């Protein structure tokens, strides 16, 4: 009962102050300011970039506008051991829909510096052609697949490509990597 009386008194006090013309205008002005300032607020702009090559986890990453290439590389797990950090301008500001390719250190063969394995996520068509059992069509299929799927997550994923079955896969599996 005491609660009902307290609530009733609060309602009467609010309605008395709310009905006075000065308070009403003041409240209305505050509401308009609140609405207009909330419509001015915008979400921070974001950019999406594709990071590939000699990074730990190639893929598409979303970062705040104004971020740098070094931030995108960091989100991709950092540089791999075979990366050439001087080949990429890590201070450059990112642009939406940009592709950042981190190449291997002085490595025309496409193999990584660690273990001499060819990175199938960064190898060129000519580099893929050096693998046993890989001809023009299979090299093109490998490149098409990695572009369509954002890169290979494992070497075994090569077997999803038409023409690469267990025989060809067994010939190349020990020569390739995804990092």
Please report the DSSP string for 104-118 in residue order. Answer: BTT-TT-B-TTTT-E
Q: Which of 52, 58, 100, 102 is nearest to 82 (CA)?
A: 102
Least confident of 8-17, 77-86, 154-163: 8-17
**What is 40-106's CATH number, 1.20.120, 1.20.272, 3.40.220, 3.10.20?**
3.10.20
pLDDT tens-digit series, residues 111-149: 444 456 788 988 888 889 889 999 999 999 999 999 998
Answer for the pair 97, 72: CB distance below 8 angstroms, yes or no.
Answer: no
> Which of helix, strand or coil describes residue 52?
strand
pLDDT at 86: 82
Least confident of 11-25, 75-89, 162-176: 11-25
Least confident of 59-63, 107-111, 150-154: 107-111
Kindly indicate the confidence band of residue 26, based on its pLDDT and cuts at 50, 70 and 90.
very low
CB atoms within 10 A of CB 97: 10
Contacts of 109 (CB under 8 A, 6+ apart): 118, 127, 130
pLDDT tens-digit series, residues 43-98: 569 999 999 888 888 899 999 999 999 999 999 999 988 888 888 889 989 989 88
Q: Is the pLDDT of residue 29 over 50?
A: no
Q: Are strands 176-177 and 118-119 parallel, antiparallel or unpaired?
A: parallel
pLDDT at 108: 47
Task: Supply the pTM of this predicted model.
Answer: 0.40
Q: Is the pLDDT of residue 110 over 50?
A: no
Contacts of 148 (CB under 8 A, 6+ apart): none
Equal fold, 40-106 vs 108-179: no
**What is 108-179's CATH number, 3.40.50.300, 3.50.50.60, 3.30.465.10, 1.10.150.320?**
1.10.150.320
Q: Where are the domains of the chain?
A: 40-106, 108-179
CB atoms within 10 A of CB 75: 17
More reliable by pLDDT, 109 or 136:
136
pLDDT at 8: 65
């Amino acid at each position: 009962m005491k609660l009902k009386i307290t609530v009733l008194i609060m309602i009467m006090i609010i309605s008395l102050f709310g009905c006075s013309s000065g308070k009403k205008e003041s409240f209305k002005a505050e509401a308009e300011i609140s609405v207009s300032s909330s419509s001015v607020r915008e979400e921070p702009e974001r950019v999406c970039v594709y990071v590939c090559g000699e990074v730990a986890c190639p893929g598409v990453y979303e970062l705040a506008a104004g971020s740098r290439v070094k931030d995108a590389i960091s989100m991709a797990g950092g540089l791999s051991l075979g990366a050439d950090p001087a080949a990429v301008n890590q201070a450059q500001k990112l642009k939406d829909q940009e592709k950042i390719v981190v190449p291997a250190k002085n490595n025309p063969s496409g193999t990584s510096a660690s273990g001499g394995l060819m990175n199938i996520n960064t190898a060129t068509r000519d580099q893929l052609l050096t693998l046993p059992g890989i001809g023009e069509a299979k090299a093109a299929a490998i490149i098409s697949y990695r572009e369509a799927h954002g890169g290979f997550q494992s070497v075994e994923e090569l077997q999803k490509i038409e023409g690469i079955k267990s025989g060809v896969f067994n010939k190349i599996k020990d020569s390739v990597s995804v990092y």
